[in-house]
Structure 1
Amino acid sequence: MRKPFRIAIGLLLVLVLLVAGGAAYVLLVLDPNALKPRIVDLAGKQGIGLEIQGDLAWQLFPSPGVRIGRTRVRATDHRIPELSFERAALSLDWRGLLHGTPKISALSVQGADIKIATATQAVVAAAAPLAAAAVSSDTTPATTDAGKAPTTIAISAVDITQSRVTLTGAGAPRVLDNLDFSSRDMVLDGKPFPVRIAFDYTDSALPMPLGIAVEADLGVDQTARMVATDNVHLHVTPVGRAVIDAYFALRFEQIRDRLAISALRISSGALAAEGDLTVSELSTLPAVRGQLRVPPADPRPLLAEWGVPLPQFSAPDALARVGLDTRFAATAENLVLDELKLAIDTTEIQGAIEARLAAPRQLKAALHGTRLDLDRYRTTAKDGPQTADAALLAPLAGPIAFLQGGNGTLDLDWDELTVDKLRLEALRLRVAFAGDDVQIHDLSTRTLGGTAAASAQLHGVTGQTPAATFKQRLTGISLAQVRQTLAPKLDLTGTLDLSLQGSARGGTSAELDRTLDARGSFGISAPHLDGVNIERAFCDLAALVDKADQRKDWPKGTAFKDIAGEFHLAGPRLVLERMTTGVGNLALRGEGTIDRGAQHYDILATARLGGERTSPDGCLVSSAHLRERDIPLHCQGSFGKDAATQCAPDKELVAQLVQDRVLQELRDKHGDSKKGKAVEGLLRGLLGDKKDRN
């Protein structure tokens, strides 16, 4: 038994000596640098310029192979990127050598510098690490003749370190620096193998460099033309910013021209996103379909860290909660957001948006919101009505800018919208866009105890001088709520009904206000004027004429009969053409002007008493000169910062009434005597009365 054992050991020693001797011969006698000219010549025949500036050397451990010094590679037809590296090593598999079939099994490159100028070169560079991998553990993808023993290329391990990739296309160059790539067990039969790549990315379009690292177990099936992985980890580190982490599964099927990303999870700071997407017709007309969900969170710290400025809102907790959930589908020409859910603080918005991105553009949007208080997001103090108008018309600006003359519709419903303390309930907006024209079919809401509705046509909205025609109706508006919400110095209360129709032209709000031309009518039920008692003003006049004592215990304000009127809007001026009302037996009609620009009004009210008393609780009017006669009352005032109101009888009327009273007393005293007529004539001359009363 010992003799065969000794023979086996002897044979093994002989084999080791032969291998050692062969290795020594290769390492000491054969100089690989002598092969440089032949290698360069072979590369040249393939259209590749090869410049080996460093030395070639054999290596024995950890596996046999060859080390390559500084080398530069470029293709004469630019089909591959320009490449240079400091050092590289090709390793041979021991088992292949023992079977007489040398097999290149590993590649390591250090200090590579790759310059990519075209998209084709980028594809070649991305696919290079896998190009020479084995199709399976039993077959090899490529061989190179070397005499009787073909050399097999079946690289299963790649290491690239301390390298750089420069993208030199249009614009400033983009650089992938400090590039490291490693992979093991690379077999293209669909079985996963580990891949890791890390680099620093610099782009002038970005505010800072990015550190990027990707790890995955990648399965590549060359036969099925498919790439799949279930555990991609993308780690992005912006310099001075919060880290961005992404995890997802990926499946690319070249035969179906389809890419699917599932189980996507992205997080940075307090924000996170989840979703999945599928891209079909990837190489021809890509179409993306998927779902995206951003759980509600506070985006402000992350935005501040990224240097994204936010306005100083009036509410300190404004934009403290933002979330998104939607299904989407997109191509180069179309975008669809379906089952859209957007959360902004306590406001929830749902709906759908369909848009055609190519000309002529189209848009179809239907959105429903819950409650939104715009006062929380106020940044500068503005005039209340202008702010309300801007808030109502703001939804039109985005579609008009997007459509660029295309067609579309916008359906907007809001449960409650608050702007400048004005609460709008059940807000409804229906708009159609057609070229340069906008048709507002319905803008309606419940507000101030009543309802408001409007419709309008806007023409030439993208031109220099757009024009608008409109109709508006207010029903059951409480003037007490108007005073409480919008106009704290409004003296009139009651319930307002109003209708208005008009037009305006201009490219700015100032031009529209200046060219405003509209006519309307209004009615106020149960009106009450605070501060001024119209009945008292009339009774004071009667007391003056009747030489009676003026009553002092009048109630404040005036309770009118229902008011009805017609008006004309001419720019900032409101011309009151007719207004009728009354107090007891005192009928009133009025006309005048209210100037919004000057914040001043001038109203001439004409009173006419039917009967001897102004009202059951009013005053007795003895003078027949004040009954069944038009008595003008002139009211002037302002409604700005220093609001004031003053109403008084017409001065000429008072003078006439005094004259009539004096003359009546003369007649009563002297009768028709010549002396009495002479005195009456003298008084008429002194008072300036040129009427012939004979």
Structure 2
Amino acid sequence: MMGGFIDAIIVRERSWGEYSMKALFRIVLAAIGVLGLLAVAVVIYATTFLDPNDLKPRLADAVRERTGLELSLNGPLSWTFYPRIGVTVEDATARLPDQSADETPFAAFRQAEARLRFPPLLSGNIEVDGFTLDGLRLNLERDAQGHGNWEALVDTVAQQDNDRPSSPSRRPQSVASAGDRPLAMDIASVQVSDGQVHFEDQQNDRNITLSSLALQASNVTSGGAFPLELSFAVEGTRPELNGTISLKSQASLDLNSAVYRLDNLALKGAMHLPAIDGAHDQTFGLNASRLAADLDRQRYSVDSAVLDGTFYLPSLGEHALPLGAEASGEVSLAEDQAKLTSFSLSSGQLLRLTGSAEARHLSDDLHWQGQVDMAPADLRSWLERLGKLPTTADAQALQRVGLSSQVEGDKRTARFTDLSVDIDDTTLEGTASLGLESPLLHAELKGDSLDLDRYLPPRSTNVTASNEAPQARTSDTTPIADAGASLNESTLALARSLDLDLNLTLETLKARKFQLENVALKAQGREGHYRLSRLNADLYDGALKASGAMNVAASSVSLSFEPQLTGVALQPLLKDVSGRDDLFRGTLNASAALSSTLEDEGSWLANLDGKASFVIADGAMMGINLPGQLCTTAAMLQGNSTSHEWGSDTEFDRFAASFDIVDGVIQNDDLNVALPGVDITGSGQIDLKAQNLDMALAARLVNTADTQGCPVSATLSHIPLPLHCSGSLGDAPAQWCRFDADAFSAILQKSAASEGREKLREHVDRQLEGKLGQRIEEKLGEASGGNLKDAIKGLFQ
């Protein structure tokens, strides 16, 4: 019996426990239901009995206090209810404090709607279901002084932030209430449609509008990645342009840490720029694995950004110019420095430039340094596509150009150290500095072999007429080339502003066909005044020393040049310059002081002035034997003949002359050539512009024992044999000079008349000293007779 009672008690207690748990669960559910109904009732009451339009004045006051903008809510505010609770605002405008009602507002939108998820409200969480903004209009303006209309807004917001108490550490911490929770964000969708941003910059004359702006994002959470899409059309009148741009990415917004990031960024665009090419669109794309901005630490970074574009230029015609770039780096405004860990610039197979760099003191005293390398590339084709190819004599020049250098600089100058430049077959090494704000070139370079003629413009072409068929003959065939020049304003502007300091040494240099060795050149100047302070070189077994100056500050360019040649082998020099080895041979010593003025389309030879002199020792005039011609002529004049065999050249011991040069015409009056058995003197002129000469020479035969001389009578040795040298400088010397028979006839007549007068005078003298004189004195007296004899003698003086 006792056992049955105990069993009954156990069963009853078990039933009571089960009943108590069920009752407690029911009470909790009832409480939750009551709270839910209460929340629903509150929402129903708020959306039914509270008019949101009553909040307009408070909203306008809050916006004014926070931003300084004058908010006008022209349309109605309305609630939305289950399953979303939200508010819709229509037709709102915001004006700057100093804007009048008839001016275009700073910002406006057609409709905005914010929606909250209702179920999470029951648990005390706020989740935004979506945000929609339609018809956004934003007007940004910068005046002529550079002040933007948005600056007052930014200053007001910044002042509000500064007036707030400093925020606690952003590190995770325990919270006592919902109000202490870190800022969180969970938005199901964000949508902006039909947006427009207008920007007018009076300071830089810019007017650009972004239209059809659309933005879409979903599952926007703080700290998590969410998809983001943005697109808009762009149109401008200054400059004239239109196009479209679109962007896709995975975005991350950490509001608590103020870190914002775009991963797997893909940006595409197409732009029509009539100023560059009116027939084609310029297209480009940008991909980056990450773009990040840390606002608290003021750090911004990009990883593996790749730019790929196709561009059209007027000089390309229908051919596109590919251009690509890759870069990774970061900027820290807090530390005032930036670092470009790697970058590259390429244009198909035409160009590839790589390097790295870092910069310090970004805000004030900028300094940067890095490394740059350009693989040998066909720079000629690249420049040709850009329309920047200079005219060169060699159509294959600049097809292999590369460089490698350490580089550093500031805002004004880029300095290259450990510089190595490859230009076709030439390697230059040393240091160089280039101006970034103004033209500057300071360089100290050493090189092996440079053929400068390849990169200079081709020489001018002279045209001569033969009946009706003109025949072109380049000036390369003449000993002295007419170096014409054409100057344009851009070249003159650069020359008038360039700061130059150049030291260059080369093992060999070819310039205007001159072959120089062991070249040392120094030139410096600025503001249009430049000086060649040193040009030393070995030249055809001899030496060249020269200095000069150039002045481009005035309307015309003036040049001066003072060369000095010592011990130069003349024949190989003339062969290289004129392509002929049949002119002269010998050892040349020469000096000159020359000056010229270069007009826009003129030639420096046409305006050449100065003085010059030269001496050629132990040489020969090739292709003509003047002693042979003169001796043959002398033998004929004496009624003789000669069987001597003469060589083909005119060998001389010394060939010397000095010149006065005026307006490109060389005047000479002291030409002297010392030949075996012959002395030649002469005078005349050489016209460098017309490329011809006209010289009168006088040769006197000397009766010597030299086998190269010829026997002459005493009378003939006193008679000069005239030669007339004239013709084009491009002709062979054998065609220049000929015996002047007319001049020689005149000389003989004058000589014969002089000889007859002398014989008559001698006869009269003998008569006056003899009986005739005595008779005169007898008749007139000694004094008067002496006077008459003197008068008679005077008739024959």
Q: Shorter-chain TM-score: what band? A: 0.7 to 0.9
Q: 1:252 aligns with which of 331, 336, 344?
A: 331
CA distance in 2, matches of 1:190, 1:67: 29
SS for the counterpart of 2:634 is helix
Q: Shift of residue 108 of structure 1?
A: 6.1
TM alignment of 1:382-421, pairs within 5 A = 382=460, 383=475, 400-403=495-498, 409-421=501-513
Q: 2:575 aligns with which of 453, 473, 484?
A: 484
Which residue is 1:443 aligned to?
Answer: 535
Amino acid at match of 2:553: T
AA aligned opposite 2:400? R
Partner of 1:102: 126
C-alpha distance after superposition, 1:362-409 (max 9, x if no partner): 763323444443444465542556687979xxxx97874224xxx652
Alignment partner, residue 201 of structure 2 = 169
Report whether the alignment pairs 1:578 with 2:670.
yes
Work out whether residues 388 and 419 of structure 1, in 8 Å CA contact, stay in contact via their aligned partners in 2.
no
Q: 2:399 — aligned with what?
A: 320
Q: TM-score, normalising length from structure 2?
A: 0.66
Residue 565 of structure 1: aligned partner? 657
Q: Distance in 2 between matches of 1:194 and 1:291?
A: 29
Q: Which amino acid aligns with 1:280?
A: R
Which string of whole-angstrom CA distances, capped at 9 and with x for unpartnered residues, describes residues 530-563 of structure 1? 2321122222222212222354854323222232
Number of equivalenced pairs: 647
Q: 1:646 aligns with which of 728, 733, 737?
A: 737
Cα deviation digits, residues 200-230 of structure 1 (max 9, x gap): 6677776565656464534444443333343
Shift of 1:454: 0.8
1:366 and 2:418 are equivalent in the alignment:
no
Is the 8 Å Cα contact of residues 543 and 549 (structure 1) preserved in structure 2? yes
From 294, 297, 300, the equivalent of 2:374 is 294
Asked whether the 8 Å contact 2:459–2:483 carries over to 1, the reply is no
Whole-angstrom CA distance in 1 between matches of 2:362 and 2:702: 89
- Distance in 1, matches of 2:421 and 2:745, equals 68
Partner Cα separation in structure 1 for residue 599 and residue 191 of structure 2: 64
Inter-partner Cα distance in structure 2 for 1:430 and 1:213: 47
Compute the displacement of 1:251 (Å). Answer: 2.3
Q: Paired residue for 1:114? A: 138
Cα 1:112–1:502 shift into 2, 3 Å: same
Alpha-carbon separation, structure 1, partners of 2:261 and 2:641 = 111
Q: Secondary structure at the match of 2:567?
A: strand
Tell me by how many angstroms 1:473 deviates.
Answer: 0.8
Establish whether residue 48 from structure 1 lines up as the match of residue 69 from structure 2: yes
Structure 1: state its 5+ residue gaps.
141-147, 665-671, 673-690
Aligned to 2:355: 275
SS of alignment partner, residue 206 of structure 2 = coil
Give the distance between the partners of 2:275 and 2:22, measured in 1 at CA.
74
Q: Write out per-residue CA displacement over residues 297-341 of structure 1, whole angstroms, 9 at most, x where no aligned residue.
A: 235665566x53646755443333333444444444444344444
Which of 226, 230, 249 is the aligned partner of 2:303? Answer: 230
Q: Distance in 2 between matches of 1:426 and 1:230?
A: 49
- Work out the CA distance in 1 between the residues paired with 2:380 and 2:526: 39
Residue aligning to 1:596: 688
CA deviations 1:576-597 (Å, max 9, x no partner) are: 3334333333333443322223
Cα distance change of structure 1 residues 303 and 409 upon mapping to structure 2, 3 Å threshold: closer
**2:316 aligns to what?**
none
Deviation of the 1:523 alpha carbon: 2.0
Q: Distance in 2 between matches of 1:452 and 1:5?
A: 117
Q: Which residue of 2 aligns with 1:528?
A: 620
User: Post-superposition shift, 1:355?
Assistant: 5.9
Q: Secondary structure of the equivalent of 2:201?
A: coil
Would the aligned equivalents of 2:510 and 2:516 in 1 still touch at CA under 8 Å? yes
Change (3 A) 1:343 1:82: farther
Greater Rg over alpha carbons, structure: 2
Seen in structure 2, the aligned counterparts of structure 1 residues 236 and 521 have a Cα distance that, compared at 3 Å, is closer
Report what 2:96 is aligned to. Answer: 75
Q: Check the 8 A contact 1:102/1:149 in 2, yes or no.
A: no
In structure 1, the partner of 2:4 is none
**1:441 Cα deviation after fit:** 1.3
Change (3 A) 1:556 1:220: closer
Structure 2 counterpart of 1:634, from 716, 720, 723: 723
Letter in 1 for 2:63: A
Structure 1 distance, partners of 2:273, 2:152, is: 22
Q: Distance in 2 between matches of 1:323 and 1:62?
A: 68
Q: CA deviation at 1:23?
A: 10
Identical positions, percent: 21
Equivalent runs, 1:321-340 vs 2, <5 Å: 321-340=400-419
Amino acid at match of 2:401: V
Equivalent-residue separation in structure 2 for 1:125 and 1:244 (angstroms): 40
- 2:590 pairs with one of 453, 474, 499: 499
How many angstroms does 1:356 deviate by? 6.7
Q: Counterparts of 1:150 and 1:352 in 2: how far apart (Å)?
A: 62
Instruction: Using the TM superposition, give the Cα deviation of residue 90 of structure 1 relative to its aligned residue in structure 2, in angstroms.
Output: 4.7
Structure 1 residues 571, 245: closer, same or farther in 2, change over 3 A?
closer
Conserved 8 A contact 1:232-1:250: no
Residue 435 and residue 263 in structure 1: after superposition, are their counterparts in 2 closer, same or farther (change >3 A)? closer
Any residues of structure 2 matched to 1:5-44 within 5 Å, and which?
Answer: 7=25, 14=33, 21=40, 25=44, 29=48, 35-36=55-56, 38-44=58-64
RMSD (Å), alpha carbons? 5.3
For 2:290, the aligned partner's letter is D
Aligned match of 1:346 in 425, 429, 432?
A: 425
In structure 2, runs of 5+ residues without a counterpart are 1-16, 162-167, 212-230, 233-245, 313-318, 461-474, 756-762, 764-793
SS at match of 1:185: strand
3-state SS of the aligned residue for 1:318? coil
Structure 1 residue 472 displacement after superposition: 1.2
Where 2:252 maps in the other structure, the secondary structure is: coil
Does the CA contact (< 8 Å) of 2:611 and 2:660 recur in 1? yes
Q: Structure 1 residues 242-251 or 191-200, which shifts more?
A: 191-200
Q: Which moved more, 1:371-380 or 1:5-14?
A: 5-14
Q: Does the 8 Å contact 2:482/2:688 carry over to 1?
A: no
> CA contact under 8 A between 2:586 and 2:620: conserved in structure 1?
no
Match of 2:790 in 1: none
Aligned to 2:713: 623
Of the structure 1 ranges 559-568 and 361-370, higher mean CA displacement relative to structure 2 is found in 361-370
The 10-residue stretch of structure 1 (252-261 or 228-237) with the greater mean CA deviation from structure 2:
228-237
